[in-house]
Chain A
């Protein structure tokens, strides 16, 4: 039930864009995105509910294709502060029991 994330790791220069993908073999009710820096708590980014609505704010946005059980996180004009490990958490029933992927380690360099 654990979703699969890709890529596992990516290195960007400041200002470059990145896409992180999250794929599940099960039908999904919602997808939750988090960013975690080393030794810190996961920080919430956004939730996407089934319906395919794309959400976002500033330079981070995401989409959810419920037919394909896939979600993508879009990071545009990356900043040094974007570095960290990004996790998607998937909820199959609406009970908010999240299954997290293994993460995508993003490193932004000057």
Chain B
């Protein structure tokens, strides 16, 4: 069974430019998560989807970050405009259900903002 797929794996942009990350969860997984991981830190939840619905986006900086999950499968996380402090690894995870269930992580996208 294929795992969580993310692309691109690496992205380097200049500040104020837009950037987008794509995630394809494990087939059949209804719940999808986007996390941010700074160097030397644990992942921090940005947003959680149950199918197409964003059920928790309280940690998402909505002035510059946006996300969507069309048709309840793939998801895209966007930053516009990017700032220097956005440099981090952006991880996508999925789980079969949304309660006390194993979250499977993708390899992440490492973003560098110059």
Shortest B69–chain A CB gap in Å is 16
Chain B residues within 8 Å of A66, by CB? none
- Cβ contact within 8 Å between A96 and B101: yes
Which of B44, B95, B102 has its CB near the most chain A CB atoms (within 10 A)? B102
- Decide yes or no: A100 and B106 within 8 Å by CB, A41-B91, A49-B100, A95-B98 being known contacts: no
Chain B residues within 8 Å of A47, by CB? 100-102
Number of interface residues of A (CB under 8 A): 25
- Cβ contact within 8 Å between B107 and A41: yes
- Cβ contact within 8 Å between A103 and B103: no
Q: Which of B12-20, B35-43, B60-68, B73-81 contacts A (4 or more CB under 8 A)?
A: B35-43
Select one of A49, A89, A103 contacting B41, CB under 8 A.
A103
Number of interface residues of B (CB under 8 A): 24
Select one of B41, B98, B107 contacting A40, CB under 8 A.
B107
- Decide yes or no: A96 and B44 within 8 Å by CB, A44-B104, A47-B100 being known contacts: no
How far is B37's CA from A43's CA once the two chains are assembled, in angstroms?
Answer: 15
Chain A residues within 8 Å of B99, by CB? 94-96
- Decide yes or no: A91 and B42 within 8 Å by CB, A41-B106, A42-B105, A96-B48 being known contacts: no
- Cβ contact within 8 Å between A44 and B43: no
Q: Which chain B residue shows the least CB distance to A40?
A: B107
How far is B107's CA from A8's CA once the two chains are assembled, in angstroms?
Answer: 24
Chain B residues within 8 Å of A24, by CB? none
Shortest A53–chain B CB gap in Å is 13
Q: Which chain B residue shows the least CB distance to A96?
A: B98
- B56 within 8 A of partner (CB): yes
Q: Which chain A residue shows the least CB distance to B105?
A: A41
B interface residue numbers (CB < 8 A to A): 4, 31, 40-45, 48, 55-56, 91, 95, 98-108
A interface residue numbers (CB < 8 A to B): 2, 29-30, 32, 34, 40-44, 47, 49, 87, 89, 91, 94-103
With A41-B107, A98-B45 given, can you name 17 additional A-B contacts, CB distance below 8 Å? A29-B100, A30-B100, A32-B103, A41-B4, A41-B105, A41-B106, A44-B105, A47-B100, A47-B101, A49-B100, A89-B42, A89-B103, A96-B101, A96-B103, A97-B45, A102-B42, A103-B42
